[in-house]
Amino acid sequence: MLRDVIAYLDSVKSRDPAPRSRAEILLYPGVWSLLFHRVAHRLYRARLYFLARAVNHLSRFLTGNDIHPGARIGKRFFIDHGFTVVGETAEIGDDVTLYQNVTLGGTDPANGIAGKRHPTLGNGVIVGSGAQVLGPIHVGARARVGANAVVTKNVPEGATMVGIPARQMLVDVTAYQREFLPYGTPCTDCYDPEIQKLQSLQSEVEQLRKRLIQLLEERQPAEPAENSGPLIEERGRA
């Protein structure tokens, strides 16, 4: 038990360089909200719904995070800062990080998978501050959702989603999957979707230019051969 707690605190430290010790991490509201949720979820599964809700409301009052007792959460889950909402049928994998003001929200029960209104997050997902992930969609493992993005469709594994509505960025996943990405938001120009479109167009223009040069080079040797025919005939008559 103690070993699991230490492993969890170390996992939080690897995602947040601010704390100076494990003891300091124990003061984090995200850590306490997860602890309260473990209790509330056990009560929920035992069909003690009122008690589960009571623990949930106490947690929300003390931590600012509102995690429905029915939500299923994996190992080493971390809410950095707070004011996050997690819906009843949400499912969260291992090593997932949510920043402040994130909503894992639901849709109309009649619109989507029966009994499933909230998203499923795969292992290692990072959701940036202010992002909204809505509906019974699946966010693939190691995906990143940028700050303030609104995601309403499935997210491929390892993708980075930005914007409203969220759209996948063109940068290859190997460029950013090796290290932890704070707030799920790349902060360099090469990750800007508009710059990526411009770079893509420039690449296409360069490919067309190279192809044109290649075609011209292929035709140049053929032209003298075509013109030499009449000259050979005139010499033969002479």
| CA 220 from centre of chain | 51
pLDDT at residue 232 in the model: 47
Cβ atoms 158, 139 nearer than 8 A: no
**Do β-strands 160-162 and 167-168 pair in parallel, antiparallel, or remain unpaired?**
antiparallel
Cβ atoms 36, 59 nearer than 8 A: yes
| Measured distance CA(87)–CA(92) in Å, rounded | 11
Per-residue pLDDT of the chain (238 residues; tens, 9 = 90+): 788 888 888 888 888 888 888 889 999 999 999 999 999 999 999 999 999 999 999 999 999 999 999 999 999 999 988 899 999 999 999 999 999 899 998 877 666 566 788 999 999 999 999 999 998 999 999 999 988 999 999 999 988 888 888 888 765 555 545 555 655 556 555 555 555 566 667 777 888 888 888 888 877 765 554 555 554 455 555 5
| Measured distance CA(168)–CA(164) in Å, rounded | 11
Q: What ranges do the domains of the chain cover? A: 2-191, 196-237
**Do β-strands 132-134 and 103-105 pair in parallel, antiparallel, or remain unpaired?**
parallel
Provide DSSP, 17-61: S--SSHHHHTT-HHHHHHHHHHHHHHHHHTT-HHHHHHHHHHHHH
Given this structure, which CATH class describes domain 2-191? mainly beta
**Do β-strands 97-98 and 150-151 pair in parallel, antiparallel, or remain unpaired?**
unpaired
- Give the three-state DSSP class for 218: helix
| Measured distance CA(16)–CA(10) in Å, rounded | 10
Query: CB within 8 A of 156, min separation 6: which ones?
Result: 140, 143, 168
| Measured distance CA(69)–CA(170) in Å, rounded | 37
| Measured distance CA(171)–CA(144) in Å, rounded | 12
